[in-house]
Amino acid sequence: MALDIILLLVGFVLLIKGADFFVDGSSSIARHIGIPAFVVGLTIVAMGTSAPEAAVSITAGIAGSNELAISNVIGSNMFNLLVVAGVCAVIKPYKVEEVMLKRDFPVNVIISALLIIMMAIGSVLGYINGIVLLVGIVTYVLFVVLKAVRHREHNEDEEIKKINPVVSVVLIIVGLAMIIFGGDLVVDNARDIATRLGLSETFIGLTIVAIGTSLPELVTSIVAAKKGESGLALGNVIGSNIFNILFILGLSASITAIPVDTQAIINAVILLVVTALIYVACLIKKGMGRIVGALCVLGYVAYTAYLLVAAM
């Protein structure tokens, strides 16, 4: 058991650092060939922060651990909404940008509802579902990028490190290798821990694995909050949650069909309710205060307790 836990932690470290290397290398190459900084941020960086979840879910699907594949995405989205956004609001209350309330948050609510419908019909996320979700992420990214170009929503002076092209390529290759190997370690050892403790892969995926793969979002958002930029936290969370559903589940389902059970649908419904409630709270207050942030964190504690009771 001790070795399984150590290897699981090693897997998380490889995933997080591998994602960092991949983002740095890819962003640098993109800037070398003249792609605007904000486009890099909306695409490469956004997908890079979701790389740990992608590696785990895709690896789990290929390995036949389908419960882990879908529970990791749902668990990560719950952690992002309740803990990442909540903790940052407790550190420093923040306002929510109008564009997020009108565009990104509604998109998050809609695709969460769409996921439930897909899961309920046929009790499986198959190839067609995967293609629909992938078309969704391509459409969303293109819309956001084109709107940003048209209205200059992003600061063109945003700094993205330019690294030597050869070093950038090495970072990309090493980063991808770390992500793939880290994903294997997390899936294999999470499955072993679940078996030894008599817990389901769903519970492990919704809690331990979800928290581990969400660490990049947590660290990034807390650093932003400490710098007085807490508003970036919610943007990071919503963007990551959209990518998790459309890109990760879309890619995973396109590679191998993911069977869905009743418990997975229930967890997806809880995710939709939480997403909608936080959206309504942000609409009313045009932001998130300390009280709402604290309630979010307490909500995650209650959700985890519910999962533990359900797993027994």
154: pLDDT strictly greater than 70:
no
Mean pLDDT, rounded, for 237-250: 89
Q: Could you please report the per-residue DSSP string of 108-149?
A: HHHHHHHHHHHHHSTTEE-HHHHHHHHHHHHHHHHHHHHHHH
Of 132 and 102, the one with more pLDDT:
132
Q: Residue 105's closest CA among 269, 239, 249?
A: 239
For residue range 285-305, what is the model confidence (pLDDT) as tens digits? Answer: 888 889 999 999 999 999 999
**Residues 181, 43: contact at Cβ < 8 Å?**
no
Class of domain 2-311: mainly alpha
Predicted confidence at residue 11, as pLDDT, reads 84
C-alpha–C-alpha distance, residues 118 and 115, integer Å: 5
- pLDDT value for 162: 67
Q: How confident is the model at residue 46 (pLDDT cuts 50, 70, 90)?
A: low
Mean pLDDT over the full length of the chain: 82
Does the pLDDT at position 174 exceed 80? yes
Report, as an integer, the average pLDDT of 278-285: 90
CA atoms within 13 A on the CB side of 211: 11
E strands, the chain, in order: 94-95, 124-125, 258-259, 287-288
Q: Give the whole-angstrom CA distance, residue 219 versus residue 312.
A: 32
Q: What's the rounded mean pLDDT across residues 72-94? A: 89
Residue with tokens 């030597």: 164
**Residue boundaries of the structural domains of the chain:** 2-311
pLDDT for 124 equals: 86
DSSP 286: S
Q: Provide the residue count of the chain.
A: 312
Give tens-digit pLDDT for 111-150.
999 999 999 987 888 899 999 999 999 999 888 878 777 7
Q: Which residue has the higher pLDDT, 220 or 168?
A: 168
At residue 157 the predicted structure's pLDDT band, cuts being 50, 70 and 90, is very low
